[in-house]
Amino acid sequence: MMHKILPCIVFIVWSCTGCALAQSEGDVYDDSFGILNFDYSLNVKSNEVLFKEQPQLDYFSVLYQDTVPYALFLYFNPSEKDSEGILKFYDLNFEGDKYLFKQEYGNKITFLAPKFNFRRIFGKAEGDIPPHVDEVWARVYRDSIVYIQRKLSTRSYQHKDYIKDTGPGVPPKYRGDLKKLGDDLSREFARSNNGERIDSILLYEATIDKLEHGDGLLIDLKLIVGNHSPFSILIENALQKTKKDWTPAFLHTGRLTKSKTKIYARLDRDGTILLQTPRMLSSRYK
């Protein structure tokens, strides 16, 4: 049955505007990359149920931008099955990861996004701070949350040693226009669809190999969400035709690398087809 699922993420903005920093465990410091840091600990058990249901979960980290969570990392302790522990990563700006996250955790994870008063923290007006990019990390434990608020100056983003918010590198990318490809497939599917029931959300995992001269090659395309149908056949045939039109992942250490990626395809009720790839490169997909 064709359906449209709109994954949502519920989070709460916690504001320390006007809070007494003397009562916190906060710390403010600067570093050589032009990054202003503010660490703040908060005793809270908002995710206690999650930790009870996931006894191997050590903690999880959320990366925020403008109080909106856009990356989630769950760290599980070693077990008999996994002696080194497990890291689960979700790029929350990528519809495919949002769908997987919603399927696995639903509303079990509560996001508490802090909103800091930087005039109070740094003793200066916001305008007195050099041009910056806000970044907030929240490390969530069973009974507490540690926030790390950073104001990154523009020079820190230009520093060769700074790892940008795409993760350990830049993920593989399709060289063409995914929107145009989706529009072309929408018209093709409208002409061929005979009303058969289909899954309107598909998620693929693929490997983008590294070739000579910086070229990439799409290989090992696997359907990991959704069932095979005329819609999936359309998408798979189109992706196979693009297999030479990809660039491999680029690590911030300075080299191209073979890596895995995901490709999300969604058929909306109006016949529009959305194609999307992740914005972040997960270390587990290197």
Distance CA 24, CA 277 (A): 40
Determine the 3-state secondary structure of 251 from DSSP. Answer: strand
Query: Do both 152 and 217 map to the same domain?
Result: no
- The structure tokens listed for 82 are 């996994």
Q: Among 16, 32, 35, 12, which residue's Cα sits nearest to residue 119?
A: 16
Query: Do both 47 and 124 map to the same domain?
Result: yes
Query: Do both 144 and 209 map to the same domain?
Result: no
pLDDT confidence bin for 44, thresholds 50/70/90: confident
Question: Could you tell me if residue 163 is inside a domain?
Answer: no
Query: Do both 80 and 121 map to the same domain?
Result: yes
- Which residue in this structure is represented by tokens 């077990």? 79
Query: Do both 32 and 149 map to the same domain?
Result: yes
Distance CA 154, CA 18 (A): 28
Q: What is the pLDDT of residues 194-249, one digit of tens each?
A: 777 788 999 999 999 999 888 999 999 999 999 999 999 999 999 999 999 999 99
How many domains would you assign to the chain?
2
Q: What is the pLDDT of residues 86-109, one digit of tens each?
A: 889 999 989 999 999 999 998 888
pLDDT confidence bin for 165, thresholds 50/70/90: low
Question: Could you tell me if residue 55 is inside a domain?
Answer: yes
Distance CA 57, CA 108 (A): 13
Contact 50, 109 (CB under 8 A): yes
Q: At what angle do helices 178-192 and 230-241 cross, to 10 degrees?
A: 140
Sheet holding 249-251, edge to edge: 169-170, 249-251, 255-257
Dihedral angle sign, alpha carbons of residues 62, 63, 69, 70: negative
Instruction: DSSP for 219-265, please give it.
Output: EEEEEEES--SHHHHHHHHHHHHTTTSEE-EEETTTEEE-EEEEEEE
- Which residue in this structure is represented by tokens 């070693």? 78
- Give the structural domain span for 135: 11-158
Choice among 60-69, 123-132, 230-239, 269-278 with the minimum mean pLDDT: 123-132
Question: Which has more confidence, 130 or 265?
Answer: 265
Could you say which of 112, 137, 158 is where a domain stops?
A: 158
Which helix (H) or strand (E) element contains residue 100? helix 95-105
pLDDT confidence bin for 145, thresholds 50/70/90: confident
Long-range contacts of residues 22-29, Cβ cutoff 8 Å, at least 24 apart: 26/121, 28/121, 28/122
Question: Could you tell me if residue 18 is inside a domain?
Answer: yes
Question: Which has more confidence, 122 or 276?
Answer: 276
Please provide the average confidence, as pLDDT, over all residues in the chain: 77
Could you say which of 93, 128, 158 is where a domain stops?
A: 158
Distance CA 137, CA 73 (A): 11
Query: Do both 130 and 178 map to the same domain?
Result: no
Question: Which has more confidence, 44 or 88?
Answer: 88
Model confidence at 66: pLDDT above 90 = no
**Which residues fall within 8 angstroms of residue 60, CB to CB, at 6 or more apart?**
47, 72, 73, 74, 75, 109, 139, 140
Residue 31 identity (one-letter amino acid): D
CA dihedral 17, 18, 24, 29 (to 10 degrees): 60
Choice among 19-23, 187-191, 235-239 with the minimum mean pLDDT: 19-23
Residue 275 identity (one-letter amino acid): L
Query: Do both 151 and 192 map to the same domain?
Result: no
User: 213: exposed, middle or buried (C-beta count within 10 Å: 0-12, 13-18, 19+)?
Assistant: exposed
**Which residues fall within 8 angstroms of residue 124, CB to CB, at 6 or more apart?**
none
Residue 30 identity (one-letter amino acid): D
Query: Do both 40 and 147 map to the same domain?
Result: yes
Query: Do both 262 and 188 map to the same domain?
Result: yes
Distance CA 163, CA 158 (A): 10
The whole-number pLDDT of residue 65 equals 74
Could you say which of 127, 158, 189 is where a domain stops?
A: 158
